[in-house]
Amino acid sequence: MEQDWIWGLIGGLLIGTGGAFYLLFNGRIMGASGIIGSLVDGSAGNTKWEKLVFLAGVVLLPILLFPVYREVDPHITDNVAVLVAAGLLVGVGTRIANGCTSGHGVCGISRLSVRGIVATVCYILAGGVGVVIFRHLLGVI
Amino acid sequence: MQRLIFAFIAGGFFGAGLFVSGMTDTSKVQGWLDVFGAWDPTLAFVMGGAMIPMFIAWAIAGKRSASVLGTPLPPAPSSRIDRKLIIGSVLFGAGWGLAGICPGPSIASLSYGGTGIYIFVAAMLTGMVLAPFLRTRLDKMVPAE
């Protein structure tokens, strides 16, 4: 538990390295919601295969790491109503805002993008208020 | 073909980083957002760590006219703050806090997150399909100013 910040830092460096590769080699911004969303609403066009292969990498590397890495429990709730409500909010919200933690946060802030910074402040504040309401007031999470 | 190879490498780094950092652990994400509970600072290190290679990458990109594989680099970012950015980010943040998971980690944990992650991803994809309708409505609204 005390060393979680080291794993956070190492993981962060890996995330940023992925974003740097995608930018410098493919000329693209690594935004998870844009990549997933454009595939499901059909707006990906001729970047469809590039995005599908990117997502294949996202799924496959954790599978390869899973057996060798420390014990992992994602602690995902089994409350179906919470999962459905959260999924809908995340899906709708990221597409309307045109980005999520990776696009607006990692790629936007590192570029000193005003939109990226404003979006990140908004979703972290909403997430913080959300946790206070859902956990401490309503007790649903 | 080269673009596909580098897309796969980039996705691999992203997936590995989300897994290793704990971003796919909902208790760590909610712990970071829970400033009035047992606050967990790990996510600040994840974000800080991710900024370092990206900051360098933007600096290199700024000196180039195209990507290494010849595709155009992303245009300069708009600084326009509109209601879609704010409303969308607030809705996203609420969902992120509620389940402790955002789009990248939801995909990265597909293989080990269990049934819950499938329900979340299915709802997220539904939300993404529905979003254009809400976006159009927000576009039609006359600005309050």
- CA geometry: angle B87, B117, B83, nearest 5 deg: 5
- The Cβ of residue B129 has, within 10 Å, a number of other Cβ atoms equal to 16
Output the pTM of the full model: 0.95
- CA geometry: angle B71, B73, B46, nearest 5 deg: 120
Residue A82 confidence (pLDDT) above 50: yes
Is the CB of residue B39 less than 8 Å away from at least one CB of chain A? no
Residue A2: per-residue pLDDT: 60
Distance, in Å, from the CA atom of A71 to the CA atom of B89, rounded to the nearest integer, reads: 32
A11-36 pLDDT, tens digit each = 999 999 999 999 999 999 999 999 99
Integer CA distances (angstroms), B7 to A30, A59, B15, B57, in order = 10, 13, 12, 16
Integer CA distances (angstroms), B126 to A3, A70, A100, in order = 37, 33, 16
Beta-carbon contacts of residue B41 (< 8 Å; ≥ 6 apart): A5, B32
Is the CB of residue A83 less than 8 Å away from at least one CB of chain B? yes
Distance, in Å, from the CA atom of A1 to the CA atom of A9, rounded to the nearest integer, reads: 14
Residue B143: per-residue pLDDT: 61
Beta-carbon contacts of residue B29 (< 8 Å; ≥ 6 apart): B23, B43, B96, B100, B101, B102, B105
Please tell me whether residue B119 adopts helix, strand or coil conformation. helix
Residue B142 confidence (pLDDT) above 70: no
DSSP letter (8 states) at residue B77: P
Is the CB of residue B75 less than 8 Å away from at least one CB of chain A? no
What phi and psi, each to the nearest 5 degrees, are found at residue A58? -60, -40
Mean pLDDT (chain B) is 94
Q: Do B7 and A93 touch (CB under 8 A)?
A: no
Residue A3: per-residue pLDDT: 81
Which of the two residues, B140 and B100, has the higher pLDDT score?
B100
A54-81 pLDDT, tens digit each = 999 999 999 999 887 766 789 999 999 9
Is the CB of residue A20 less than 8 Å away from at least one CB of chain B? yes
The answer to whether residues B99 and A136 touch, using CB atoms and an 8 Å cutoff, is no
Chain B partners within 8 Å of A136 (Cβ): 36-37
What residue ranges do the domains of chain A occupy? 5-137
Which chain A residue's Cα is nearest to B45? A9
Residue A44: per-residue pLDDT: 93
The answer to whether residues B132 and B139 touch, using CB atoms and an 8 Å cutoff, is no
The predicted model gives B120-125 an average pLDDT of 98
